[in-house]
Protein backbone atom coordinates (compact mmCIF):
# COMPACT_ATOMS: atom_id res chain seq x y z
CA UNK A 1 0.00 0.00 0.00
CA UNK A 2 1.41 3.38 -1.02
CA UNK A 3 0.53 6.53 0.83
CA UNK A 4 1.45 10.05 -0.17
CA UNK A 5 3.15 12.03 2.57
CA UNK A 6 2.16 15.45 1.24
CA UNK A 7 3.82 17.80 -1.19
CA UNK A 8 7.57 17.97 -0.72
CA UNK A 9 10.42 19.27 -2.86
CA UNK A 10 11.26 15.62 -3.56
CA UNK A 11 8.26 13.27 -4.03
CA UNK A 12 8.18 10.43 -1.52
CA UNK A 13 6.09 7.35 -0.76
CA UNK A 14 5.77 4.97 2.18
CA UNK A 15 5.88 1.21 1.65
CA UNK A 16 4.53 -1.21 4.25
CA UNK A 17 6.78 -4.08 5.33
CA UNK A 18 5.56 -7.46 4.04
CA UNK A 19 5.01 -10.57 6.17
CA UNK A 20 8.32 -12.00 5.00
CA UNK A 21 10.18 -8.85 6.04
CA UNK A 22 10.56 -7.45 2.53
CA UNK A 23 9.61 -4.03 1.15
CA UNK A 24 7.96 -4.91 -2.16
CA UNK A 25 6.32 -2.62 -4.67
CA UNK A 26 4.27 -3.24 -7.79
CA UNK A 27 4.89 -0.23 -10.01
CA UNK A 28 3.99 0.68 -13.57
CA UNK A 29 7.05 1.83 -15.47
CA UNK A 30 6.97 2.82 -19.14
CA UNK A 31 3.57 1.15 -19.37
CA UNK A 32 4.83 -2.18 -17.99
CA UNK A 33 3.86 -3.65 -14.61
CA UNK A 34 7.15 -3.98 -12.72
CA UNK A 35 7.25 -5.77 -9.34
CA UNK A 36 10.35 -4.79 -7.38
CA UNK A 37 11.96 -5.10 -3.98
CA UNK A 38 13.45 -2.02 -2.35
CA UNK A 39 16.27 -2.24 0.15
CA UNK A 40 15.71 -0.91 3.66
CA UNK A 41 18.26 1.84 3.15
CA UNK A 42 16.09 3.15 0.31
CA UNK A 43 19.03 3.41 -2.07
CA UNK A 44 18.56 0.40 -4.31
CA UNK A 45 15.93 -1.58 -6.13
CA UNK A 46 16.05 -5.26 -7.01
CA UNK A 47 14.44 -6.25 -10.30
CA UNK A 48 14.38 -9.52 -12.20
CA UNK A 49 16.22 -9.60 -15.50
CA UNK A 50 12.92 -10.06 -17.35
CA UNK A 51 11.28 -7.07 -15.66
CA UNK A 52 14.27 -4.82 -16.25
CA UNK A 53 14.31 -5.72 -19.93
CA UNK A 54 10.54 -5.22 -20.30
CA UNK A 55 10.62 -1.69 -18.89
CA UNK A 56 13.49 -0.71 -21.17
CA UNK A 57 16.42 -0.41 -18.81
CA UNK A 58 19.90 -0.88 -20.31
CA UNK A 59 20.90 -4.50 -19.89
CA UNK A 60 24.13 -4.13 -17.96
CA UNK A 61 25.32 -7.49 -16.73
CA UNK A 62 26.35 -6.27 -13.31
CA UNK A 63 22.79 -5.12 -12.58
CA UNK A 64 21.18 -8.51 -12.97
CA UNK A 65 23.38 -11.15 -11.43
CA UNK A 66 24.91 -11.89 -8.07
CA UNK A 67 27.07 -8.96 -7.12
CA UNK A 68 30.80 -9.45 -6.46
CA UNK A 69 32.20 -8.29 -3.14
CA UNK A 70 32.09 -4.53 -2.81
CA UNK A 71 29.42 -3.98 -5.45
CA UNK A 72 25.78 -3.15 -4.86
CA UNK A 73 22.58 -3.10 -6.92
CA UNK A 74 21.97 -0.18 -9.26
CA UNK A 75 21.18 2.95 -7.18
CA UNK A 76 17.59 4.11 -7.52
CA UNK A 77 18.55 7.67 -8.36
CA UNK A 78 20.66 6.40 -11.26
CA UNK A 79 17.80 4.27 -12.57
CA UNK A 80 15.33 7.14 -12.26
CA UNK A 81 17.06 9.06 -15.02
CA UNK A 82 16.55 6.12 -17.40
CA UNK A 83 12.81 5.80 -16.71
CA UNK A 84 10.54 7.94 -18.89
CA UNK A 85 7.30 7.43 -16.94
CA UNK A 86 7.06 5.86 -13.50
CA UNK A 87 3.71 7.30 -12.40
CA UNK A 88 5.53 10.04 -10.51
CA UNK A 89 7.74 7.64 -8.59
CA UNK A 90 11.26 9.05 -8.43
CA UNK A 91 12.35 8.78 -4.81
CA UNK A 92 11.43 6.16 -2.25
CA UNK A 93 11.39 7.27 1.37
CA UNK A 94 12.98 5.16 4.06
CA UNK A 95 10.42 2.46 4.81
CA UNK A 96 11.42 1.56 8.34
CA UNK A 97 12.26 3.49 11.49
CA UNK A 98 14.68 0.76 12.40
CA UNK A 99 18.27 1.68 11.47
CA UNK A 100 19.69 -0.70 8.89
CA UNK A 101 23.26 -1.65 9.71
CA UNK A 102 23.69 -4.14 6.88
CA UNK A 103 25.78 -3.41 3.84
CA UNK A 104 24.05 -2.94 0.49
CA UNK A 105 25.46 -6.29 -0.64
CA UNK A 106 23.98 -8.09 2.37
CA UNK A 107 20.59 -6.45 1.88
CA UNK A 108 20.54 -7.61 -1.76
CA UNK A 109 21.60 -11.10 -0.64
CA UNK A 110 18.81 -11.17 1.98
CA UNK A 111 16.21 -10.09 -0.56
CA UNK A 112 17.34 -12.79 -2.97
CA UNK A 113 17.04 -15.41 -0.23
CA UNK A 114 13.53 -14.29 0.67
CA UNK A 115 12.41 -14.66 -2.94
CA UNK A 116 14.27 -17.86 -3.80
CA UNK A 117 14.30 -20.01 -0.66
CA UNK A 118 10.53 -20.15 -0.16
CA UNK A 119 9.66 -23.85 -0.44
CA UNK A 120 9.96 -27.07 1.54
CA UNK A 121 10.74 -30.22 -0.44
CA UNK A 122 10.53 -33.91 0.40
CA UNK A 123 13.41 -36.17 -0.71
CA UNK A 124 12.61 -39.91 -0.86
CA UNK A 125 15.03 -42.86 -0.69
CA UNK A 126 14.70 -43.44 -4.45
CA UNK A 127 16.19 -39.99 -5.09
CA UNK A 128 12.99 -38.25 -6.18
CA UNK A 129 11.85 -34.95 -4.71
CA UNK A 130 8.60 -33.04 -4.56
CA UNK A 131 7.43 -29.74 -3.17
CA UNK A 132 5.34 -30.13 -0.02
CA UNK A 133 5.02 -26.47 1.10
CA UNK A 134 5.72 -23.04 -0.30
CA UNK A 135 5.48 -19.41 0.72
CA UNK A 136 7.97 -19.98 3.54
CA UNK A 137 10.04 -16.92 4.47
CA UNK A 138 13.52 -18.49 4.28
CA UNK A 139 13.03 -21.93 5.89
CA UNK A 140 15.98 -22.55 8.18
CA UNK A 141 16.04 -25.10 11.03
CA UNK A 142 13.57 -27.99 10.95
CA UNK A 143 12.58 -30.66 13.47
CA UNK A 144 10.03 -33.48 13.79
CA UNK A 145 8.16 -34.01 17.05
CA UNK A 146 7.25 -37.47 18.44
CA UNK A 147 3.65 -36.97 17.26
CA UNK A 148 4.78 -36.41 13.63
CA UNK A 149 4.57 -32.63 13.54
CA UNK A 150 7.11 -30.73 11.43
CA UNK A 151 8.26 -27.42 12.92
CA UNK A 152 10.08 -25.02 10.60
CA UNK A 153 12.00 -21.89 11.53
CA UNK A 154 10.91 -19.09 9.19
CA UNK A 155 13.80 -16.74 9.80
CA UNK A 156 12.53 -13.68 7.95
CA UNK A 157 8.94 -14.06 9.21
CA UNK A 158 10.11 -14.18 12.85
CA UNK A 159 8.13 -17.32 13.65
CA UNK A 160 8.08 -21.07 14.02
CA UNK A 161 5.57 -22.75 11.71
CA UNK A 162 4.08 -26.22 12.21
CA UNK A 163 2.66 -28.81 9.78
CA UNK A 164 1.06 -32.21 10.23
CA UNK A 165 3.08 -34.90 8.43
CA UNK A 166 1.09 -37.48 6.45
CA UNK A 167 2.15 -41.10 5.94
CA UNK A 168 3.44 -40.27 2.45
CA UNK A 169 5.43 -37.27 3.71
CA UNK A 170 2.92 -34.64 2.60
CA UNK A 171 2.25 -31.65 4.82
CA UNK A 172 -1.08 -30.18 5.93
CA UNK A 173 -2.71 -28.06 8.65
CA UNK A 174 -0.19 -25.26 8.42
CA UNK A 175 -0.21 -23.02 11.49
CA UNK A 176 1.94 -20.63 13.50
CA UNK A 177 3.51 -22.62 16.33
CA UNK A 178 5.14 -19.58 17.91
CA UNK A 179 5.26 -15.89 16.97
CA UNK A 180 8.76 -14.74 17.95
CA UNK A 181 8.19 -11.01 17.42
CA UNK A 182 11.75 -9.62 17.11
CA UNK A 183 13.38 -13.07 17.08
CA UNK A 184 15.12 -14.45 13.96
CA UNK A 185 15.10 -18.25 14.38
CA UNK A 186 17.96 -20.17 12.78
CA UNK A 187 18.77 -23.72 13.89
CA UNK A 188 16.22 -25.31 16.26
CA UNK A 189 15.81 -28.34 18.54
CA UNK A 190 13.04 -29.83 20.68
CA UNK A 191 13.06 -30.98 24.30
CA UNK A 192 10.91 -33.45 26.25
CA UNK A 193 8.73 -30.67 27.67
CA UNK A 194 7.66 -29.80 24.11
CA UNK A 195 9.66 -26.58 24.14
CA UNK A 196 11.84 -25.43 21.24
CA UNK A 197 15.29 -23.90 21.48
CA UNK A 198 16.26 -21.60 18.62
CA UNK A 199 19.49 -19.86 17.71
CA UNK A 200 19.24 -16.17 16.84
CA UNK A 201 22.10 -14.59 14.89
CA UNK A 202 21.29 -10.84 14.83
CA UNK A 203 20.13 -10.80 18.47
CA UNK A 204 23.11 -12.90 19.64
CA UNK A 205 21.19 -15.34 21.77
CA UNK A 206 19.69 -18.80 22.13
CA UNK A 207 16.05 -18.83 23.25
CA UNK A 208 13.70 -21.50 24.63
CA UNK A 209 10.01 -21.02 23.80
CA UNK A 210 6.83 -23.01 24.21
CA UNK A 211 3.98 -23.36 21.71
CA UNK A 212 2.22 -20.01 21.50
CA UNK A 213 5.46 -18.02 21.79
CA UNK A 214 5.97 -17.68 25.55
CA UNK A 215 9.70 -17.28 26.29
CA UNK A 216 10.94 -19.74 28.90
CA UNK A 217 14.65 -18.97 28.88
CA UNK A 218 17.12 -16.73 27.06
CA UNK A 219 20.87 -17.28 26.92
CA UNK A 220 22.65 -14.08 25.90
CA UNK A 221 25.85 -14.49 23.87
CA UNK A 222 28.56 -12.17 22.58
CA UNK A 223 28.12 -13.36 18.97
CA UNK A 224 25.40 -14.75 16.73
CA UNK A 225 23.93 -18.19 17.48
CA UNK A 226 23.48 -20.15 14.26
CA UNK A 227 22.42 -23.57 15.55
CA UNK A 228 21.67 -25.47 18.72
CA UNK A 229 21.26 -29.11 19.71
CA UNK A 230 20.59 -31.14 22.85
CA UNK A 231 22.98 -34.00 23.52
CA UNK A 232 25.41 -35.50 26.00
CA UNK A 233 25.00 -38.66 28.10
CA UNK A 234 21.56 -37.65 29.40
CA UNK A 235 20.65 -35.45 26.40
CA UNK A 236 20.48 -32.45 28.74
CA UNK A 237 23.49 -30.56 27.40
CA UNK A 238 22.62 -27.69 25.11
CA UNK A 239 25.26 -27.13 22.43
CA UNK A 240 25.29 -23.78 20.62
CA UNK A 241 27.17 -22.97 17.42
CA UNK A 242 28.12 -19.30 17.61
CA UNK A 243 30.13 -16.93 15.45
CA UNK A 244 30.47 -13.21 14.80
CA UNK A 245 28.39 -12.34 11.73
CA UNK A 246 29.75 -9.71 9.36
CA UNK A 247 27.44 -10.39 6.44
CA UNK A 248 27.88 -12.73 3.45
CA UNK A 249 30.74 -10.66 2.05
CA UNK A 250 32.79 -11.14 5.21
CA UNK A 251 31.89 -14.65 6.31
CA UNK A 252 35.25 -16.14 5.29
CA UNK A 253 37.46 -13.31 6.50
CA UNK A 254 39.95 -13.64 9.33
CA UNK A 255 39.99 -13.88 12.25
CA UNK A 256 37.82 -16.97 12.60
CA UNK A 257 35.38 -16.47 15.49
CA UNK A 258 33.38 -19.72 15.54
CA UNK A 259 32.78 -21.40 18.90
CA UNK A 260 30.87 -24.40 20.23
CA UNK A 261 29.32 -23.36 23.54
CA UNK A 262 27.54 -25.61 26.01
CA UNK A 263 25.35 -25.37 29.10
CA UNK A 264 22.94 -27.57 31.03
CA UNK A 265 19.32 -27.52 29.82
CA UNK A 266 16.20 -27.95 31.99
CA UNK A 267 14.83 -30.85 29.89
CA UNK A 268 16.36 -33.58 27.71
CA UNK A 269 16.15 -33.85 23.93
CA UNK A 270 13.10 -35.18 22.13
CA UNK A 271 12.04 -35.68 18.52
CA UNK A 272 14.33 -35.62 15.48
CA UNK A 273 17.01 -34.69 14.76
| Domain edges within the chain | 2-115, 137-270
What pLDDT does 66 receive? 40
- Mean pLDDT, the chain, as a whole number? 75
For residue 55, pLDDT beyond 70: no
Q: Is pLDDT above 50 for 268?
A: yes
What was the pLDDT predicted at 190? 98
Confidence of residue 134 (pLDDT cuts 50, 70, 90): confident
Dist. CA 80–CA 172, nearest whole Å: 45
Residue 161 CB neighbours (<10 A): 22
Per-residue pLDDT averaged across 25-39, rounded?
65
Span 59-111, pLDDT tens digits: 444 333 343 444 444 444 444 444 444 333 333 323 333 333 344 455 455 54
Stronger pLDDT, 258 or 21, i.e. the higher one: 258
**Tens-place pLDDT, residues 209-260:** 999 999 999 999 999 999 999 999 999 999 999 999 887 777 778 888 999 9
Report the C-alpha gap between 265 and 237 in whole angstroms: 6
Q: In this predicted structure, what is the pLDDT of residue 124?
A: 87
Best CA proximity match to 63, nearest among 77, 82, 86, 79: 79
Are 171 and 148 contacting, i.e. CB atoms less than 8 angstroms apart? no
CA separation for the pair 234, 228 (Å, rounded)? 16
- The strand ranges marked E within 166-204 are 171-179, 185-191, 195-200
Sign of CA dihedral 192, 195, 200, 203: negative
The pLDDT score that the predictor gives to residue 239 is 98
Q: Above 50 in pLDDT, residue 37?
A: yes
**Main-chain dihedrals φ then ψ at residue 51, nearest 5 degrees:** -65, -45
- Identify the pLDDT of residue 253: 81
State residue 15's pLDDT score: 67
How much is the pLDDT for 246? 81
pLDDT category of residue 17 using cuts at 50, 70 and 90: low
- Maximum CA pair distance of the chain? 68
Average pLDDT over residues 24-41: 63
Separation of alpha carbons 214 and 193, rounded Å: 13
Q: CATH assignment of 137-270?
A: 2.120.10.30
| Percent of the chain scoring above 70 in pLDDT | 56
- Whether pTM > 0.75 for this model: the answer is no
For the ranges 106-110, 116-120, 131-135, the lowest mean pLDDT is seen at 106-110
Whether the per-residue pLDDT at 187 is higher than 50: the answer is: yes
Taking Cα atoms as reference points, which of 200, 264, 272, 204 lies closest to residue 237? 264
Beta strands in the chain (DSSP E): 2-4, 13-15, 24-29, 32-38, 45-46, 119-123, 129-134, 139-144, 149-154, 159-165, 171-179, 185-191, 195-200, 205-210, 215-220, 224-231, 237-243, 259-264, 269-270
Q: What is the pLDDT of residues 142-154, one digit of tens each?
A: 999 999 999 999 9
Amino acid sequence: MLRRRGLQPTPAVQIARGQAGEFALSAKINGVKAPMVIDTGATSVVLTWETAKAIGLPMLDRMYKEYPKGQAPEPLERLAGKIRDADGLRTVAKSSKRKCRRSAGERAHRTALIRAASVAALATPDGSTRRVADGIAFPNGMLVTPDSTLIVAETYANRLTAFDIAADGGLSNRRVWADLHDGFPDGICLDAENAVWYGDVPNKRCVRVREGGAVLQTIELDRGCFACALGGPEKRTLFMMAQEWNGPDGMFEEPRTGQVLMTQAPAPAAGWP
